[in-house]
Amino acid sequence: MSDDEPDLELLALLRQHLQGKLKISEEPETGVLEGAEYVYDNSIDVALDMRSCKNAAAAIYSQMQQKECSPAKWSEHELHPKTKDEATIAFIFTMDILNFSFWSEKSDAERFAISYRDKRWTGYWSLVAAMQRALEEGIPITDSHFWQDEEECTLDSLKHIFRSCTDEEMPMLGERLACLREAGTVLYKKYECSPTNLVKAANGSAAALVNLLAKDFPCFRDEHRFEGRRKPIRILKRAQIFVADLWACFGGEGLGDFRDIDKVTIFADYRVPQILNSMGCIAYSPPLDVAVRAKRDIPSGGSWEMQLRACSIWCVELIRREIKRNHPEVNINAILIDFFLYDTIKEIEAAGQESIPHHRTRSIWY
């Protein structure tokens, strides 16, 4: 090749580099991973152990294979919707508007719980059980017209819908009412009162749907400031889990078909850091470790909480990459890993084998 001839391979590499840096692609991005990596790079209270992450990747892959983890597992649970229609989209949207803060300091016998179909449900499942019970009782809990009706949808009506079989109420009922009211107003103004129209507006892009939720619905705008960065750190737990729930419920087909579903990260809450810490993948500074073990309140949006959540996102991303590196033929994404980790820590909790409690942060974000 003469000096006058272009090096096509070099040009191709340069083009790929520039596209990555300048984001020439028109495909939407959520920015969640970018923010998580920034927090990890600047974290002083949460650290990752790379050897443990590699070991965890092998163990997680092996156990997920044994349990045959797939999005189909979502619909197999007796409380999750079985149909694949607009009513199901409305159910999932309502569920994820309200999908936050179920933990309690009370004992299992005393904590908030829902009695439904001769079973007792706690945590996330208490929400789903209460919604199913409300629909059976003729209460239109998934209808945005109901949310906007200030005479019908009141704090007292929510207390009835989410009535407990114990003396403890569902936490943050006032905040849940505010989220429903706000979401109903946005749906009315922008989406003709239809969650299905919201999903269709994303044109089959998971990232676009996450971004629409964060832009149009303040109650989904889970982003926070972190020291030294102008742009807010985007966590977007409930926005991302809405997309993941749709994808899992619809089996990646129809309105659950997202061409970029792998852009969704884990759903950073209080359970993922807990299990990653117990696996040795993330470690806490002595002051943070003491605070977590003492079950002290960790303020929402504070430095400690941001490090816990963002470093968990980045940790699972590294685990996902390690699994793909060793098993390139396997279809695995952060959603499936998150589902597996959540189920695993709940099993550990039920067996009374937790090595560290989850951190205590009360907020609408998770």
Specify the DSSP class assigned to residue 233. Answer: E
Residue 339 phi/psi, 5-degree rounding, is: -55, -45
Mean pLDDT of the 126-146 span: 98
**Residue 1 has what pLDDT?**
52
Instruction: Report the pLDDT value the prediction gives residue 26, as an integer from 0 to 100.
Output: 82
Q: Residues 159-205: pLDDT tens digits?
A: 999 999 999 999 999 999 999 999 999 999 999 999 999 999 999 99
* Angle formed at CA 326 by CA 260 and CA 257, multiple of 5 degrees: 20
Reported as a single tens digit per residue, the pLDDT across 56-74 is 999 999 999 999 899 999 9
pLDDT score of 234: 98
Rounded CA-CA distance 72/87 in Å is 19
- Both tokens of residue 229? 């960065």
Q: Which residue has the tokens 């816990």?
A: 308
Q: Is residue 17 pLDDT above 60, yes or no?
A: no
Between CA 257 and CA 205 the distance in angstroms is: 8
Give the pLDDT confidence score for residue 330 in this predicted structure. 93
2: pLDDT strictly greater than 60: no
pLDDT (tens digit, 9 = 90+) per residue, 275-332?
999 999 999 999 999 999 999 999 999 999 999 999 999 999 999 999 999 999 999 9
pTM for the predicted model, two decimal places: 0.91
CA angle 318, 319, 324 (to 5 degrees): 95
pLDDT at 13 over 80: no
Helices (H), 202-333: 206-216, 237-249, 271-278, 286-293, 303-326
Does residue 15 register a pLDDT over 80?
Answer: no
Determine what percent of the chain is predicted with pLDDT higher than 70.
93
Q: Is the pLDDT of residue 10 over 90?
A: no
pLDDT at residue 104, rounded to an integer: 96
Query: Rounded to an integer, what distance in angstroms lies between the CA atom of residue 288 and that of residue 290?
Result: 5
More confident residue, 5 or 224: 224
- Average model confidence (pLDDT) for the chain? 94
**pLDDT tops 90 at residue 272:** yes
One-letter amino acid of 210: V
Examine the pLDDT at 23 and tell me if it is beyond 60.
Answer: no
Structure-token match 């790379």, residue found? 50
Q: How far apart are CA 287 and CA 134, in angstroms?
A: 44
Q: How does residue 4 score in pLDDT terms, banded at 50, 70 and 90?
A: low
The SS3 of residue 269 is coil
CA distance linking residue 210 with residue 202, whole number of Å: 9
Task: Output the six-digit token pair for 226.
Answer: 């972190």
Give the bridge partners for 224, in sequence order.
233
Q: Identify whether the C-beta of residue 275 lies closer than 8 Å to the C-beta of residue 315.
A: no
Q: What are the pLDDT digits (tens) for 225-261?
A: 998 899 999 999 999 999 999 999 999 999 999 999 9
Q: Which of 44, 82, 62 is nearest to 311 (CA)?
A: 44
The radius of gyration computed from the CA coordinates of the chain, to the nearest angstrom, equals: 21
Q: Which residues contact 216 (CB under 8 A, 6 or more apart)?
A: 186, 190
| 31, 75, 231, 266 from 68: Cα distances, Å | 30, 14, 39, 19
Active centre residues (catalytic)? 269
Query: 39 by DSSP, 3-state: which?
Result: helix
Residue 148, pLDDT above cutoff 70 = yes
Max intra-chain CA distance, the chain: 83
Q: What is the pLDDT of residue 9?
A: 61
pLDDT given at position 228: 83
**145 Cβ partners below 8 Å, 6+ apart?**
184, 193
Q: Is pLDDT at 12 greater than 70 in this prediction? A: no
The answer to whether the CB of 67 falls within 8 A of the CB of 334 is: no
